[in-house]
């Protein structure tokens, strides 16, 4: 997949009110691209659209609302004549031990983090297939490739998205459309602050090994090592890559810890190699 369209590109980015979505929009606009700057409340993106009145288009988009998803794609097509880059950025975190999870809140989490991204992607694909070009970029998380106490539900929503998008990338590459999931580590956004939800259920048995980690996540808000502006520039550059990766880690922390996880996993696989192989029917050696 090497055929590129002429720039400027046309973007739709979900969740532009703050954090990664806002910074990615500003990167694309500063490069001269056209951007559908979406948010559940368009007042949150008015300043961006005033700064770039000719190339920024405010779009009301709650990714859990199928009518708004449909309208956002139709608006992009009507105003700009197509869509080249979709960024699935809208999402939030939820902290709880697994036993403490509130069923309704967990389902809401999946509606945004997983099903919202899925429905928006499906709505964008017919146009990308028709023009034989597209870039789909998912703002996933290090929690989508590593699960830890307190963030199991958030991880499961991102793990589901990772699996879906890994398969989708393989389906779309022959059509000159790529899918890249980005896994940021700890970045200085609102994720662990304003955008974070916590369960109202607390079980004493989890107060140390789970609650302490949950409290740590809240306490690092505003102190994270990751720079969202630098990350946004890297994510923008993916749109110009003729063969972008299907996965991209962002940040030194996730780089180190994921390599540790992979090393431990390989060691475990090797340790149980004979047990694994013994599950097959015996091979006829005659």
DSSP 281: P
Name the band, by pLDDT with cuts 50, 70 and 90, for residue 2: low
pLDDT at 49: 96
The catalytic position among 158, 192, 211, 239 is 158
Residue 45: partners with Cβ closer than 8 Å, 6 or more residues away:
16, 17, 22, 25, 37, 38, 39, 56, 58
User: How many C-beta atoms surround the C-beta of residue 286 within 10 A?
Assistant: 3
As a whole number, mean pLDDT of residues 172-185 equals 95
Task: Convert the pLDDT of each residue in 239-286 to its tens digit.
Answer: 999 999 999 999 888 999 999 999 999 999 999 999 999 999 988 776
pLDDT at 225: 63
pLDDT at 22: 94
pLDDT beyond 60 at 188: no
pLDDT at 185: 76
pLDDT at 52: 97
Name the band, by pLDDT with cuts 50, 70 and 90, for residue 155: very high
Domain extents for the chain?
Answer: 10-270
pLDDT at 187: 62
pLDDT at 211: 82
Q: Return d(Cα 115, Cα 130) in angstroms, integer.
A: 24
**Partners of 187 in beta bridges:** 226
As a whole number, mean pLDDT of residues 117-130 equals 98
177: left (phi over 0), alpha (psi -120 to 50) or beta: beta
pLDDT at 219: 62
Q: Return d(Cα 59, Cα 195) in angstroms, integer.
A: 20
As a whole number, mean pLDDT of residues 118-131 equals 98
Q: Return d(Cα 65, Cα 57) in angstroms, integer.
A: 19
Task: Convert the pLDDT of each residue in 57-116 to its tens digit.
Answer: 999 999 999 999 999 999 999 999 999 999 999 999 999 999 999 999 999 999 999 999
pLDDT at 212: 78
Full-model pTM = 0.92
At the fourth CATH level, the homologous superfamily of domain 10-270 is: NAD(P)-binding Rossmann-like Domain (3.40.50.720)
Is 72 a residue of the active site?
A: no
Please report the DSSP string for 133-192 in residue order: -EEEEEE--GGGT---TTBHHHHHHHHHHHHHHHHHHHHHGGGTEEEEEEEE-SBSSSTT
DSSP 42: G
Could you give the count of Cα atoms lying within 13 Å of 24 in the half-sphere of its Cβ?
Answer: 33
pLDDT at 239: 96
Three-class SS state of 224: coil
pLDDT at 176: 97
Is 39 a residue of the active site?
A: no
Residue with tokens 């989890």: 206
Name the band, by pLDDT with cuts 50, 70 and 90, for residue 228: confident
pLDDT beyond 60 at 53: yes
Q: Which long-range contacts (CB under 8 A, 24 or more apart) does 75-80 make?
A: 75/36, 76/10, 76/12, 76/36, 77/127, 80/10, 80/34, 80/36
The catalytic position among 14, 18, 140, 178 is 140
CA proximity to 93, closest of 197, 207, 209, 217: 197
pLDDT beyond 60 at 192: no
pLDDT at 284: 78
Name the band, by pLDDT with cuts 50, 70 and 90, for residue 128: very high
CA proximity to 113, closest of 97, 99, 131, 93: 93
pLDDT beyond 90 at 190: no
Residue 242: partners with Cβ closer than 8 Å, 6 or more residues away:
1, 2, 4
pLDDT at 48: 97
Residue 231: partners with Cβ closer than 8 Å, 6 or more residues away:
20, 23, 182, 184, 187, 250, 251
Which tokens hold the place of 243?
């063969």
Residue 37: partners with Cβ closer than 8 Å, 6 or more residues away:
13, 16, 25, 45, 48, 49, 56, 57, 58, 59
Lowest mean pLDDT among 22-26, 163-167, 207-211: 207-211
The catalytic position among 17, 39, 178, 239 is 17
pLDDT beyond 90 at 227: no
The catalytic position among 9, 94, 154, 206 is 154
């Amino acid at each position: 997949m090497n055929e590129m369209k002429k720039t400027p590109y046309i973007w739709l980015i979900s969740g532009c009110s703050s954090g990664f979505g806002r910074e990615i929009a500003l990167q694309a606009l500063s490069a001269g691209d056209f951007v559908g700057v979406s948010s559940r409340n368009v007042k949150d993106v008015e300043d961006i659209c005033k700064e770039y009145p000719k190339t920024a288009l405010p779009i009301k988009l709650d990714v859990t609302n199928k009518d708004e998803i449909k309208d956002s794609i139709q608006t992009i097509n009507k105003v700009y004549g197509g869509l080249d880059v979709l960024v699935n950025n809208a999402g939030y975190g939820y902290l709880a031990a697994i036993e403490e999870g509130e069923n309704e809140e967990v389902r809401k989490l999946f509606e945004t983090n997983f099903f919202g991204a899925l429905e928006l992607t499906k709505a964008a694909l017919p146009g990308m297939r028709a023009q034989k070009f597209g870039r789909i970029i998912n703002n996933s998380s290090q929690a989508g490739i590593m699960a830890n106490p307190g963030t199991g539900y958030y991880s499961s929503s991102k793990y589901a998205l990772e699996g879906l998008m890994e398969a989708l990338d393989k389906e779309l590459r022959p059509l000159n459309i790529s899918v890249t999931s980005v896994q940021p580590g700890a970045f200085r956004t609102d994720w662990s602050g304003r955008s974070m939800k916590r369960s109202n259920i607390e079980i004493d048995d989890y107060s140390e090994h789970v609650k302490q980690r949950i409290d740590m996540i809240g306490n690092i808000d505003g102190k994270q090592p990751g720079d969202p502006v630098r990350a946004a520039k890297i994510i923008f550059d993916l749109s110009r890559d003729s063969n972008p990766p299907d996965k991209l880690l962002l940040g030194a922390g996730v780089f180190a810890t994921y390599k540790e996880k992979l090393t431990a996993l390989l060691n475990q696989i090797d340790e149980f190699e004979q047990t694994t192989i013994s599950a097959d029917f015996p091979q006829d050696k005659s």
